[in-house]
Amino acid sequence: MADSPPTLDSLIVWRSDANTEAYEKARVDRVFNQRRPKRFPIAVVEAIHESHVVDAVRLAIERNCRVSVRSGGHSWAAWSVRDDAILIDLGKLQEISLDEKTGIVKVSPSTTGRMLNGFLSEKGLMFAGGHCPDVGVGGFLLQGGMGWNCKNWGWACENVVAIDVVTGDGRLLHCDANQNSELLWAARGAGPGFPAIVTRFYIQTRRCYSHMRSSAYTYQKSEYHKAMNWILGITAEYDDDTEIVVVGSYPPGSPDICITVLLVTFKNSEEEARKALQEAEDSHPPGTVNKWFCNPTSLKQEYEDQAAANPSGYRYCADNAYISNDADVAETLQAAFTTLPHRKSFTLWYSMAPVSRRKLPDMALSMQTDHYFALYTIWEDEKDDERCQNWVRDIMKDVETRSEGAYLGDSDFQTRRTRFWGEEEGKKLMRLRRDWDPLARICGYLDVGDKSGLNGLENVHEWQVVAKI
């Protein structure tokens, strides 16, 4: 007979009872961003079993308070930390199991991409999850999942075939195409406003690739336009197993910002990899300050590189936009790529074509263009908070008027309003929130003052609203 899980009482840290150190550890210890929020849950439940999630929701019902949820703790705005709520931390709720006949893996929300692919690689499989190794699949998938080679393979959430959830009234439900399908629809792109708590994802995996290779071309920032316009001209019809990104950053040892075009291809032979990367090698402009062609790499190596670019223990401010397809992309993003406020910070353009040009499956995720752009502003000292955050705001004031909307995962609803879904999908999502959680038991989108509640987000461009006033 299996041991019974511990009681909820043994897993809960009350703000009113615990010492300050224990409460603070429970409140923010797994929050990645060191720019800590000044918000204080009434309690934190460190769930280790699905039943603890159910019990925590029922406790919140008894106390007439809300619940918030932490999967990986990687959201830049620390959405899980909410005033006067019971925070359900899923960090110790751990499950990975594979149906080898179907290739469907069952996984708990706090499981990171590195953990999941470490498990799957031994089975000859992979999951095109988040690039940062320590991002939990829960937040990543609910936001849509801009994962490995998203430009060609599609959004990670498209591979979610079912979920298990706890609803705001304390019910445990299975959701798939045949039952509770509205919640599965919402789980593919609702983000932190999903009107239930996911305890398990059922994800379709894909085969591993034996030959991952990368090429990179680095230019001085004075060559920004040359580099950006070159890569913009070849990405939409590039090889369908190759992802392409442009990064503005301070490379190690460099006194100034550089522009790096990076291509990573997933193939099963050296010949295939070289063929995929050859077009960029043959067409790249002269003048590189550093370059490599078809170097061996792996998910393990790429995770290590991403971890170095997104170090723990730092302060972060992020924002992003889908740049309109008819915009002058290079001109629109010039200041963002060439005026970074701190040596740790970087700017990213991620090619989304051709997946951005197809009709999406019927799901909440419904915002995309050919061009994804994001700012990852990273610094060490609290005294730089205002300067770094103001730089982000100033950049976005110019960029947002040439955008269609933004990706939930790199957004902060407290600082800027924009669109995150298509018009009809946004309306449907807000209706489903009201239908499935009419008392707004589960904390939704954290806007200014945490006031949105049951209404959710307006799904409008703030700059257009202000212009009409």
Q: What is the pLDDT of residue 234?
A: 97
Can you tell me the distance from the alpha carbon of 378 to that of 458, in angstroms, rounded to the nearest whole number?
29
pLDDT tens-digit map of 97-117:
999 999 999 999 999 999 999
In sequence order, the 6+-apart residues with CB closer than 8 A to the CB of 429 are 186, 189, 190, 193, 364, 421, 456
CATH code linked to domain 8-89 = 3.30.43.10
Domain 96-207 part of CATH 3.40.50.10740: no
Q: Tell me which fold the domain 211-410 belongs to.
A: Vanillyl-alcohol Oxidase; Chain A, domain 3 (3.40.462)
Strand locations in 110-257 (E):
125-126, 160-167, 172-175, 196-204, 206-207, 211-220, 242-249
Residuewise pLDDT in 10s, the chain (469 residues) = 456 789 999 999 999 998 999 999 999 999 999 999 999 999 999 999 999 999 999 999 999 999 999 999 999 999 999 999 999 999 999 999 999 999 999 999 999 999 999 999 999 999 999 999 999 999 999 999 999 999 999 999 999 999 999 999 999 999 999 999 999 999 999 999 999 999 999 999 999 999 999 999 999 999 999 999 999 999 999 999 999 999 999 999 999 999 999 999 999 999 999 999 999 999 999 999 999 999 999 999 999 999 999 999 999 999 999 999 999 999 999 999 999 999 999 999 999 999 999 999 999 999 999 999 999 999 999 999 999 999 999 999 999 999 999 999 999 999 999 999 999 999 999 999 999 999 999 999 999 999 999 999 999 998 887 655 5
pLDDT for position 18? 83
List the chain domain ranges.
8-89, 96-207, 211-410
Q: Residues 6 or more apart from 247 whose CB is under 8 A from it?
A: 259, 260, 262, 346, 347, 348
Tokens of 144: 């849509």
Q: Answer yes or no: are the C-beta atoms of 53 and 197 closer than 8 Å.
A: yes
Distance CA 382, CA 359 (A): 44
pLDDT tens digit string along 158-200? Answer: 999 999 999 999 999 999 999 999 999 999 999 999 999 999 9
| Separation between Cα atoms, residue 102 and residue 125, nearest integer Å | 12
- The predicted model scores a pTM of 0.96
What lies within 8 Å, CB to CB, of 426 at 6+ separation is 366, 419, 420, 457, 459
* Extended beta strands in 79-178, E state: 85-89, 96-99, 104-107, 125-126, 160-167, 172-175
Q: Among candidates 115, 154, 153, which has minimal Cα distance to 303?
A: 115
CB atoms within 10 A of CB 283: 11
